[in-house]
Amino acid sequence: MKKIVDKSITGNFLLDILYKRNLINDEQLNRISKIQKNNRNELQKTIIELDILKKDEMMIALADEIGVKYVNLNDVNIDPTIVVLIPEEMARRHQLIAIDKDGNKLTVAMANPLDVFAHDELKIRLGYDIESVLSYGEDINRALDEVFGVTNEWDQVIGKIENMQVTVLKEEEKEVSDISAIDKGEEAPIIALVNLIILRAVKEKASDIHIELFGEDTLRVRYRIDGILHDVMSLPRNLHLAIISRIKIMSDLDIAERRLPQDGRIQVNVRGRNINIRVSTVPTVNGESAVLRILDPASILLDLDSLGFSNDILPKFISLIKKPNGIILVTGPTGSGKSTTLYTALNLLNSSEKKIMTIEDPVEYRLKGISQIQAKPKIGLTFAAGLRSFLRQDPDIMLVGEIRDRETAEIAVQAALTGHLVLSTLHTNDAPSSVIRLIDMGIEPFLISSSVIGVIAQRLVRRICPKCKKELKITSDIKKILDIYDIDSNEITLYKGEGCPNCKGTGYKGRIALFELMIITDTMRELITKNVNNRKLRETALQEGMCTLKEDGIKKVREGITTVDEVLRVAST
């Protein structure tokens, strides 16, 4: 067996093992040693990057030598509830992660299983019997990032800020060029921190960022991912004013005004993608709160299959939007996917033979071949003013972001009655309620019955994570719900997500829409003209074939797309 002599250059435990096992030759050894001498990179990473050995080959040899098992974390479904048994600070300091628990035995993947100090600290602090296995260091770091959601970049930036006085000056810039190219050494720390908050949110596919004060000393950052808020980090209270001011500068808001709500917009570039961000600040008793809504054009697919229409609703929807005139309303709360549904409809209708115009606040996504107008209420360009001007532009199809008042509703009705197809949104809980809402605005029932041709109510539910999807045992409570819809619990298989790194332990990944499509039939027109109440209108709509949100949700449960709990969370009727 060859022996390494020059310990000053190659005196490394790993190199000794690989050389002794003839996994690297003299030439490769000298090459590695030279690179390590000139550039102190992590040795394991250097060997992999030089393509001298595959990661698993190297780690298996090391594990065999030190007498432990090697675990490739990329092949393991890591349970976040087990990972968090070890405090994040301790896990990162020793580069280790808990991956399994059996009774009082805790299996811990370590970059260095020979670290007796880490073993002792784990046993003393946690009280478990520790079984250590070997894993690649970068895989451990990545797994910790997946669970805890905070990268080393956070710590580096925050560390620079915590003990310094931050002063925010008014800047001329209104747009960040490329926030993914963060140089924390050159950039002001507070700018780097805000950029990191946005960058991480885009990476995590968050729809909203919430920055708000809780209590006297906690500034909390939360992301809304798949409709649910998740804590990301807590910051010192003294950073609050600087962060809010930076966001205001980026969105061209008044940094001196802290008593009134303000709305603005930011456009940033993340790795070549233009991201639009809608900013809202409001004063609270603790201090200003900021919410940033992320509008990522790359995240919208604009095809009907991706929306989640069931087979019986889809043909009705396509038939509805291809009508030559009338009003189509999409209803639901904020964040229920109304804009995506409308954009998808416009994308389907878009052709060179038709002129399509929109007025929106804001213009969330730009569509080729469609004239889109940004509403500007401060200068009088309201939804109503835009719609009125549209009628002189000879359009075939018009979209108005939201019917908020009587004036906008009246012009929409006028446009529909004069041969235009009008698409818009309304805030109501279900489809039949939209008719009552228009009546409450002051629109005559006979005008509503003549102009409105269909209403779609929608909600978003989370999809079961495909990587940890498992069969679910049907409980008595679930059986009762299935019985309501005449579903035999013996003939259906339900699923749930167990939780894995892919879904960050939630069991869900991505979202899909539930739909309630109400087509205005002749029978319903008569009832609307008679100004009947919402209950009667809903009963008639059901008799005419309307599928409720909950019924559509149960269909998706049967298909293994979502869970009963998710459907009940968003659909009460």
Q: What is the model's pLDDT at position 58? A: 83
Question: What length is written for the chain?
Answer: 573
Q: Answer whether residue 503 is part of any domain.
A: no
CATH number at residue 354: 3.40.50.300
Please indicate, yes or no, whether residues 142 and 264 belong to a single structural domain of this protein. no
One domain, residues 424 and 292 = no
Q: Tell me: the pLDDT tens digits for 176-197?
A: 445 554 444 444 678 878 888 8
Instruction: Report yes or no: 291 and 200 within 8 Å, Cβ to Cβ.
Output: no
* pLDDT, tens digit (0-9, with 9 covering 90-100), for 307-341: 888 888 999 999 999 999 999 999 998 888 898 89
Contact in structure between 333 and 339 (CB atoms under 8 Å): no
C-alpha atoms less than 13 angstroms from C-alpha of 252 in its C-beta half-sphere: 11
Contacts 24+ apart (CB under 8 A), 94-98: 94/118, 94/121, 95/137, 95/140, 95/141, 96/122, 96/140, 97/73, 97/135, 97/140, 97/143, 97/144
Around Cβ 488, how many Cβ atoms within 10 Å? Answer: 9
Determine, yes or no, domain membership for 470: no
Q: What is the pLDDT of residue 289?
A: 94
Average pLDDT for 521-543 = 93
Q: How many CB atoms lie within 10 A of CB 254?
A: 11
Same domain flag for 354 and 448: yes
For residues 167 and 333, which has the higher predicted lDDT (pLDDT)? 333
Q: Report how far apart, in Å, the C-alpha atoms of 486 and of each of 404, 475, 489, 554 are.
A: 40, 16, 9, 11
Beta strands in 301-432 (DSSP E): 326-331, 356-360, 371-374, 397-400, 421-426
Q: Tell me the percentage of the chain whose pLDDT exceeds 90.
A: 32
- By CB atoms closer than 10 A (0-12, 13-18, 19+), residue 259 is exposed
Q: Which two tokens stand for residue 279?
A: 């900013």
95, part of any domain: yes
Answer whether residue 484 is part of any domain.
no
> For the segment 84-129, what is each residue's pLDDT rounded down to a tens digit?
788 877 888 889 999 888 888 899 999 888 888 888 888 888 888 8
3-state secondary structure of 110: strand
Task: Give how far the C-alpha of residue 414 lies from the chain's centroid of Cα atoms, to the nearest Å.
Answer: 38
SS (H, E, C) 160-214: HHHCCCCCCCCCCCCCCCCCCCCCCCCCCHHHHHHHHHHHHHHHCCCCEEEEEEE
Same domain, 291 and 331: no
**In a domain? residue 541:** yes
How far CA 516 is from CA of 302, 308, 418, 524, 540, in Å, comes to 19, 12, 28, 16, 14
Do both 284 and 378 map to the same domain?
A: no
Q: Measuring CA to CA, how many Å separate 145 from each of 45, 141, 207?
A: 19, 6, 20
Residues 434 and 529 in one domain: yes
Q: What is the mean pLDDT of the chain?
A: 82
Q: Which residues fall within 8 angstroms of residue 443, CB to CB, at 6 or more apart?
A: 406, 409, 410, 413
Q: Assess contact for 452 and 441: CB atoms under 8 A.
A: no
Residue 274 domain-assigned? yes
Q: Residue 67: which residues within 8 A CB-CB, separation 6 or more?
A: none
Give the HSE-up count for residue 187: Cα atoms under 13 Å, Cβ half-sphere: 18
Chain segment 266-300, per-residue pLDDT in tens: 888 776 677 888 899 999 988 899 999 998 776 66
The verdict on residue 136 lying in a domain is yes
Q: Are residues 101 and 242 in the same domain?
A: no
- The conformation of residue 514, written as its DSSP 8-state character, comes to E
Any idea which residue has 């600070």 for tokens?
Answer: 89
Asked whether the bond before 362 is cis by omega within 30 degrees of 0, the reply is yes
What separation in angstroms does the CA of 273 have from each of 179, 196, 278, 360? 11, 16, 16, 22
Asked whether residue 99 falls in the same domain as residue 193, the answer is no
| Same domain as 237, residue 124 | no
The verdict on 37 and 77 lying in the same domain is no
Report how many domains make up the chain: 4
Confidence of residue 475 (pLDDT cuts 50, 70, 90): confident
Give the structural domain span for 56. 11-66
Phi, psi at 518, each rounded to 5°: -110, 110
How confident is the model over 205-242, as pLDDT tens digits?
A: 889 999 998 766 778 899 998 888 888 877 888 888 88
Identify which of 429, 472, 430 has the alpha carbon closest to the alpha carbon of residue 562.
472
- The CATH number assigned to the domain holding 123 equals 3.30.300.160
Buried b (16+ CB within 10 A) or exposed e, 404-430: beebbbbbbbbbbeeebbbbbbbbbbb
Alpha carbons 264 and 353: distance in angstroms, whole number: 36
Shared-domain flag, residues 360 and 444: yes
Q: What's the pLDDT at 216?
A: 66
Within this chain, do residues 434 and 328 fall inside the same structural domain, yes or no? yes
- Give the CATH number of the domain where residue 236 resides: 3.30.450.90
Among the candidates 258, 277, 298, a domain finishes at 298
Domain assignment present for 492: no
Joined tokens for residue 554: 């149960």
